[in-house]
């Protein structure tokens, strides 16, 4: 199997004007009854159908590990099967493990083995609270993508992320300082990205101004969480991985769920490129 290098894979997708990331948040309670068959791989089969219907339109899939861990061994097996299936039928599509991991350096080695060796993700989400020293084992994974939480999409994000910190003779919000540190100091292997929610387009624009145009930004909260796509495109400009989960994978609760997922994915793909062209930029070029 060809070596999967995160930066090369995502740049190829941006060049193809593909920015949609489908969140495989396969909540077992919402999977259509038509595909459930007791304690087997119903969740995996649901994911397989979504992948079959959408893989030509997307740059990435992002399974949130919480939906799989909550089911114990059955969920873990389903997730591993899903990753293997994507690599088989859509080998050029990135797989981002939404794990939000971080701990002391030694413990992180276990997270790395789980994410990149056991599951086989191409990228992972991490939180920055423990600092670069603790996260260095992640940053050292030269061929893998490391997406650092910066400005999250939840309503309570302001509690800490808007706190002002002193940088030289200025006061700036903590999330901007995180963006600065990642771009200026953590990205020595050119494998870092940031996570900024679509629910905060003004903050997204500020983060883009801090990190420049080249750094990938993973943007959740389009769709069910209410993020505004046009404002997101204007704010983030280019090199964005725009994620939608529930609005795509649960677009229908019937036997046509895969067809409905494709329609929603195509709609989002076309809207992104429409707004990008209107604004004079796209994810591949100016």
Mind listing the pLDDT tens digit for each residue in 236-261?
Answer: 999 999 999 999 999 999 989 999 99
Report the interhelical angle of 229-236 vs 201-211 (nearest 10°): 20
Indicate the average pLDDT of the chain. 92
Active-site residues, by number, are 100
pLDDT on residue 144? 98
Q: What is the pTM of this model?
A: 0.94
Domain ranges of the chain: 6-278
Q: Which fold has domain 6-278?
A: TIM Barrel (3.20.20)
How big, in percent rounded to 5, are the helix, strand and coil portions of the chain? Answer: 50, 15, 35
| Predicted confidence band of residue 180 (pLDDT cuts 50, 70, 90) | very high
**Are 27 and 55 within 8 A, CB to CB?**
no
125-163 pLDDT, tens digit per residue, is 999 999 999 999 999 999 999 999 999 999 899 999 999
- Spatial neighbors of 148 by CB under 8 A, at least 6 apart, are 125, 126, 127, 128, 135, 178, 182, 186, 192, 193, 194, 195
**Are 84 and 98 within 8 A, CB to CB?**
no
pLDDT on residue 282? 46
């Amino acid at each position: 199997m060809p070596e999967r290098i995160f930066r090369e894979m995502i740049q190829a997708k941006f060049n193809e004007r593909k920015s949609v990331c489908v969140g495989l948040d396969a909540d077992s309670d919402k999977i259509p009854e038509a595909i459930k068959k007791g304690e087997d791989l119903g969740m995996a089969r649901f994911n397989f159908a979504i992948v079959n219907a959408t893989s030509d339109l997307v740059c990435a899939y992002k399974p949130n590990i919480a939906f799989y861990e909550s089911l114990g061994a059955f969920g873990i097996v389903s997730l591993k099967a899903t990753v293997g299936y994507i690599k088989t039928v859509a080998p050029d599509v990135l797989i981002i493990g939404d794990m939000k991991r971080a701990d002391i350096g030694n413990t992180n080695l276990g997270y790395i083995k789980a994410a990149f060796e056991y599951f086989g993700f191409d990228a992972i989400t991490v939180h920055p609270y423990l600092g670069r020293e603790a996260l260095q084992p992640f940053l050292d994974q030269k061929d893998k993508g490391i997406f650092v939480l910066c400005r999250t999409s939840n309503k309570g994000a302001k509690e800490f992320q808007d706190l002002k910190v002193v940088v030289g003779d200025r006061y700036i919000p903590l999330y901007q300082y995180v963006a600065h540190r990642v771009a200026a100091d953590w990205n020595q292997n050119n494998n870092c990205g940031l996570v900024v929610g679509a629910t905060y387009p003004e903050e997204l624009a500020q983060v883009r101004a801090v990190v420049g145009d080249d750094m990938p930004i993973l943007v959740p909260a389009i769709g069910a969480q209410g993020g505004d796509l046009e404002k997101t495109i204007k704010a983030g400009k280019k090199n964005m991985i725009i994620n939608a989960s529930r609005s795509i994978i649960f677009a229908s609760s019937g036997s046509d769920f895969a067809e409905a997922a494709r329609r929603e994915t195509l709609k989002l793909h076309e809207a992104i490129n429409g707004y990008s062209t209107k604004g004079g930029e796209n994810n591949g070029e100016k």
